[in-house]
Structures are given as C-alpha cells and as structure tokens.
C-alpha cells in the first residue's frame, strides 16, 4: 500500500524532492524503488558539463546519448555499421566529399520546437566555434570557425549537407557522426540563453553559443530530458513525451552518485537502487549468487595496456619489447584480476570494431623471453620502473608483472600514484613504463590506430601528443598505412588494412596489450530489457521496464 502511494505521488514531486524522498524513505519503509522510476548507482564524479559540445567524459556520454539525438547512431546489431536517427536517409557524392542527409519530417525537440536541418547545421557550427575538447572529431574533416557555415549547412528545412576535405572512407565519416559532439541542439531554445562575450585573441566570437547555460541546462530531443544535475550527487532524467522513437517505459531515471563497489552492492541487495554499475570482481560474484539479482555485461571499446618509453635505452631495443610481451601471466590475470570485468585481448583494436584482430599470440614464456633478452645483450637483466595508478586491476597487474619479470632477471620498481600524478608524468614522457587504458573517441578503427601509430614530431615540443608520441615511438610505415586506410572506401578492404597493421604492430611495438574491458552491472530481477552497449554512449535506458 505504501509503495503504491509513494509511486503515485512521486510523479508530482520536483526532481530534488523526489530524490530526497527516495533516499530518506526507501531504506526504512520498503525494499523497492518506485515502479515508474529507475535508480542506478554510478560513479558520476567525472561529469564537468552537460553541454554536448563540451562534455567528453564517460558518464556524460551516457547522459547525452539518452537525452540528445544524432543524425545517425551505431547499429547495435552490427557495430561496423550505422543506422538513421534523425536522418531517414543519406547519400555520398561520387567524389566522396559531400554527404547529404534527409531528416525525417515532423520531429520535435522536448521544448516543442521543430527539429530542422538548420538546427543540425548550427549544432555543428557551435561545436566547432566553441572548440572544446571533443571538437577535433568534427574539425578533422577540415572544418574551421571560418568555413563551418559553408561546410555544414541546411539546403532546406529537412536537408543537411556536410562537405569534408578529403574522400574519406564513408564508414569513418559516419562513425564520427555518432559521437556525442555531433548531438543536435535546439537552436531557438539555446539562443534564448546565450551569454554576450567580448571577442579576444583566444575567442573571437561575441557570444558563448549558450555554453554556460548548457553546462547544466538541456536543449535536446532524445528519449529522456535532463531534469537536474548536481555535481557528485545526482543526475535526474525525465521522459520526453515529444520523443519520435519508441517511448521510454519509465517516467524517470535517477543516477545516484556512488563510488564504492561495496556500497553499490549493499544498496542493490537492500532494494535502494535497481542497478549497480561499478562492481569489482568480488562484489560481482556476490551479486551473481543472489537469487533476487542478475548480472549484465558487455565488452567495451577500452583497451588496457603497458607501454615502454623508448627514451630508456634498454626498452628501446626491439628484443626487449618482444621479451616483455612473453613476461606477462595472461592466464593468471584473466582468472583472478579481471575475472568478469575484462577479457585478454592483445591488439589495439577492440572487438566489435571494423578490422579488429581476435588473436592472442603471446603467453607467459620465460625461456623465450630470456633468449630475447640475451640477444639484446641483457642476459643478466636490468632495472626499470613502472608508474601505476592506485586502483584495481592495474595495481594487481603491475604486481603480477613484477613477479614474472623477475623470473627473467628484470627488476621492476612500482611507482604508485593517483590518476593525476601518473598521467601528468606520462604526458611529460618522463616514465620508464606505464600501465593505462585507452577508450575509443568514436566507434571507428581510426580512433585507436591513429593514436598508436601517428607521431609526426617526436621531439618533447611535439604538439600531436598521441600514445605513440608519449612513448617516443616512431613507426612511419604503419602511420602511412593507417592514413591510407582512412581513404579506402571499400569496407572489406579497409578492414583487411587494419588487420595487417595490427599484425605488424604485434611484432614491433613498445606496447603490451593486456585486456579489453568488460562493463558489468548488477540489477534487480524485476527489470526487463536492461542491456549494456558496446560503448559508454550506447547504454540506453529508454527500453528498460519494471515488472
């Protein structure tokens, strides 16, 4: 009776009041969240802005994909393809330079304003001119503040025309347009909230394109609309009744800030949340054994790796680089440290992306490693350091490698630090070895292939700070092949090119690829149609219902 009454009254409350009532009343009164509301425990402390032209964090990507629309989206049935979202069709000119999108007519933003090609064009313009972190995904096609209104424009109310600077592979262009920076915003609504600016050498426009307002505001047309974001506390989404697609099953989605795995598990078991999103292996195992709970998982496009800085004369030797790949106990790491949250994967392209290799040629082989070290003139081993963030599973992997490297006479000193400390040192190229992860900026093989092969200026003053640059690694031939793959318009041929690049990379590179992340979540069994997607911007909450 109390549950029914609370669920009915919940709809009428403000987002803040609703959350307060849920958090204060639920644990004491019932072990169930309201029937029309989904509550997720999630570490949302990475969110710094909700503006899709600025946001570039994992958590924000999930919020944006559920609240904004795109021209095209990743096809979850075949992630090497895209499907229409606002666009009902599109075509590419014979010269490969012009993309013409036909929008489905009659669509509306959450505000009630019509969605037009003019909104699409202005969304591209504001992202390019704001020039925030994710803008490069659009500007890499030759867009600048000076030419964007000609290169991305509305031909009529329902026709958007996008002109690129080279005849790229269409799959590359379209995959980039699935990135959240290409989200379409409600121009009319945002224009009501623009802030005047004084042009300067750093910023030459006379307004902020609504950036300050959109940091916490909302101007989208997605399945849900953003009701509220309170930093390090909560995000509240409400159903968008103007949504053109399949209507969301629930009225509201609440993301509660919960950082610790154990806290999420306890809240899930108590019924205070419906989904726990940051579970470590031990808590995941406990959830899987609970009859009231279930576990979901999905491989993500995030790769964990160990890199060797070639400024170190010992690590510079190709034989040492290969030896280290045989001094990782992949089986032990798989069965313990990443059990349930990752899968051994030894190349830079994650499974699910075009051209990804599904081969793991390396295994722990101390004898082979010793042969390679001897060939490098280091039969007696040497000492080296590794910078490691104070989190799991990377700390455990580093400790495991410390033991296996020692078997070949290599003394590894682990230098622990927080994320800022280790990353600052890594970006300054002052490390010996580093263990980290890399997630694709967009779901296309170029996102990873480029960062692992491109290094046009290997000096410390270089401005193209790819992962290859961070480790002073130059591979001009593979970089040339990577750039050629961008221009291959035949999908099968393009995939084969990336496979060839990866095979060569396995034989000669200072990167030891360990595993591909598996995102996991525990959830209450009364949920229906909860699924995790292949990327953080494909975790959709619209289809979820409650029994």
- How far is it, in rounded angstroms, from Cα 369 to Cα 365? 6
| Average pLDDT for the chain | 93
Contact 517, 349 (CB under 8 A): no
pLDDT digits (tens, 9 = 90+) for 299-340: 999 999 999 999 999 999 999 999 999 999 999 999 999 998
Query: Residue 504 pLDDT more than 90?
Result: yes
Which residue reads 């949340």 in tokens?
Answer: 273
CA distances from 245 to 224, 242, 248, 253, 543 (A): 11, 9, 9, 18, 11
Measured distance CA(284)–CA(192) in Å, rounded: 47
pLDDT digits (tens, 9 = 90+) for 240-254: 999 999 999 999 999
Cα separation, 450 vs 443, in Å, equals 13
What percentage of the chain carries pLDDT values higher than 70? Answer: 94
pLDDT at 31: 60
Instruction: Tell me which residue has tokens 């802005």.
Output: 49
Q: Give the residue from 321, 314, 318, 316 showing the smallest Cα distance to 511.
A: 321
Peptide bond into 234 cis (omega under 30): no
Provide the token pair at 239. 């159903």
Please return the burial class of 30, using the count of CB atoms within 10 Å of its CB with bins 0-12, 13-18 and 19+: middle
Query: What is the edge-to-edge ordering of all strands in the sheet holding 87-92?
Result: 87-92, 98-103, 159-163, 152-156
Q: State residue 45's pLDDT score.
A: 86
| pLDDT, tens digit (0-9, with 9 covering 90-100), for 103-147 | 999 999 999 999 999 999 999 999 999 999 899 999 999 999 999
Based on C-alpha coordinates, what's the Rg of the chain?
25
Environment class of 97 (CB within 10 Å of its CB; exposed 0-12, middle 13-18, buried 19+)? middle
Per-residue pLDDT tens digits for 164-173 = 999 999 999 9
Percentage of residues of the chain with pLDDT beyond 90: 87
* Mean pLDDT in residue range 518-525: 96
Q: Which tens digits make up the pLDDT trace of 340-378?
A: 899 999 999 999 899 999 999 999 999 999 999 999 999
Asked if the model's pLDDT at residue 73 lies above 90, the reply is yes
Average pLDDT over residues 2-8: 32
**Residue 177 binned pLDDT confidence (cut-offs 50, 70, 90):** very high
pLDDT of residue 347: 97
CB 371 within 8 A of CB 276: no
pLDDT at 15: 45
Average pLDDT over residues 374-389: 97
Q: What would the pLDDT profile of 421-470 be if each residue is shown by its tens digit?
A: 898 999 999 999 999 999 888 999 999 999 999 999 999 999 889 999 99
On the question of pLDDT at 29 being above 60, the answer is: no
pLDDT higher than threshold 70 for residue 64: yes
CB contact at 8 A, 450 and 469:
no
Which pLDDT score is estimated for 46?
Answer: 87
Handedness of CA 317, 322, 326, 331 (dihedral sign): positive
Tokens of 26: 């639920």
CA dist 65 and 151 (Å) reads 25
Q: Do 301 and 345 meet the contact criterion of CB atoms below 8 Å apart?
A: no
> What letter does residue 184 receive in the DSSP assignment?
B
Q: What is the pLDDT of residues 30-45, one digit of tens each?
A: 468 999 999 999 999 8
Question: Residue 21: is its pLDDT beyond 90?
Answer: no
Distance of CA 21 to the CA centre of its chain: 33
Can you give 405-466 as a three-state secondary structure string? Answer: HHCCCCEEEEEEECHHHHHHHHHCCCCCEEEEEEECCCCCHHHHHHHHHCCCCCCCCCCCCC
- pTM, to two decimals: 0.85
Q: At 80, is the pLDDT very low, low, confident or very high (cuts 50, 70, 90)?
A: confident
Which H, E and C letters describe 117-170, residue by residue?
HHHHHHHHHHHHHHCCHHHHHHHCCCCCCCCHHHHEEEEECCEEEEECCCCCCH
SS3 35: coil
Quick check: helix, strand or coil at residue 171?
A: helix
Q: Is the pLDDT of residue 195 over 60?
A: yes
- Residue pointed to by tokens 């403000």: 14
**What is the rounded CA–CA span in Å between residue 91 and residue 84?**
12
The answer to whether residues 271 and 293 touch, using CB atoms and an 8 Å cutoff, is: no
- 227 Ramachandran zone, left/alpha/beta (phi>0; psi -120 to 50): alpha
Region class of 75: left (phi > 0), else alpha (psi between -120 and 50), else beta: beta
Residue 291: Cβ-neighbour burial (10 angstroms; 0-12, 13-18, 19+) = exposed
Candidates 251, 249, 258, 220; CA nearest to 237 is 251
- 82: which strand partners? 74
């Amino acid at each position: 009776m109390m549950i029914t009454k609370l669920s009915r009254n919940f709809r009428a409350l403000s987002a803040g009041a609703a959350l307060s009532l849920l958090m204060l009343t639920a644990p004491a009164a019932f072990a169930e969240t309201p029937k029309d509301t989904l509550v997720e425990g999630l570490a949302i402390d990475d969110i710094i802005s909700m503006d899709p032209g600025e946001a570039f964090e994992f958590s924000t990507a999930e919020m944006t994909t559920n609240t904004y629309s795109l021209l095209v989206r990743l096809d979850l049935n075949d992630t090497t393809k895209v499907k229409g979202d606002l666009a009902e069709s599109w075509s590419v000119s014979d010269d490969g330079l012009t993309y013409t999108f036909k929008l489905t007519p009659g669509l509306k933003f959450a505000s009630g304003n019509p969605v037009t090609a003019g909104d699409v064009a202005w969304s591209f313009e504001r992202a390019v001119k704001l020039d925030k972190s994710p803008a490069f995904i659009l500007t890499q096609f030759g867009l600048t503040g000076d030419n964007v209104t000609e290169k991305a424009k509305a031909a009529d109310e329902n026709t958007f025309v996008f002109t690129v600077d080279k005849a790229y592979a269409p799959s590359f262009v379209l995959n980039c347009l699935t990135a959240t920076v290409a989200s379409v915003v409600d121009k009319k609504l945002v224009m009501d909230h623009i802030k005047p600016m004084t042009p300067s050498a750093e910023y030459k426009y006379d307004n902020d394109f609504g950036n300050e307002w959109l940091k916490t505001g909302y101007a989208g047309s997605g399945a849900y609309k953003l009701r509220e974001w309170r930093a390090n506390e909560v995000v509240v989404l409400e159903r968008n009744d103007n949504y053109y697609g399949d209507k969301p099953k629930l009225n509201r989605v609440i993301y509660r800030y919960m950082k610790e795995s154990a806290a999420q598990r306890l809240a899930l078991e108590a019924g205070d949340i419906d989904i726990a999103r940051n579970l470590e292996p031990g808590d995941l195992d406990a959830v899987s054994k609970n009859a009231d709970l279930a576990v979901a998982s999905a491989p993500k496009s995030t790769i964990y790796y160990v890199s060797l800085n070639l400024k170190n004369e010992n690590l510079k030797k190709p034989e040492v680089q290969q030896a280290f790949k045989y001094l990782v106990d992949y089986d032990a790491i798989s069965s313990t440290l990443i059990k349930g949250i990752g899968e051994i994967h030894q190349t830079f392209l994650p499974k699910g992306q075009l051209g990804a290799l599904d081969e793991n040629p390396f295994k722990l082989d101390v004898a082979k490693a010793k042969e390679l070290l001897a060939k490098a003139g280091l039969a007696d081993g040497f000492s080296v350091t590794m910078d490691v963030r104070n989190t799991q599973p990377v700390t455990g992997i580093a400790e495991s490698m410390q033991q296996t490297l020692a078997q070949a006479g290599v003394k590894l000193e682990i230098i622990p630090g927080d994320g800022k400390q280790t990353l600052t040192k890594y970006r300054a190229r002052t490390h010996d070895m580093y263990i980290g992860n890399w997630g694709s900026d967009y779901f296309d093989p170029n996102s990873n292939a480029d960062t692992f092969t491109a290094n046009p200026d290997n000096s410390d003053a270089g401005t193209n700070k790819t992962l290859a640059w961070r480790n002073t690694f130059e591979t001009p031939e593979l970089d040339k092949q990577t750039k050629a793959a961008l221009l291959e318009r035949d999908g099968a041929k393009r995939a084969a090119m990336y496979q060839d690049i990866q095979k060569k990379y396995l034989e000669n590179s200072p990167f030891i690829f360990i595993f591909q992340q598996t995102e996991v979540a525990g959830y209450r069994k009364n949920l229906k149609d909860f699924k995790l997607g292949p990327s953080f911007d494909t975790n959709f909450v619209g289809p979820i219902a409650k029994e």
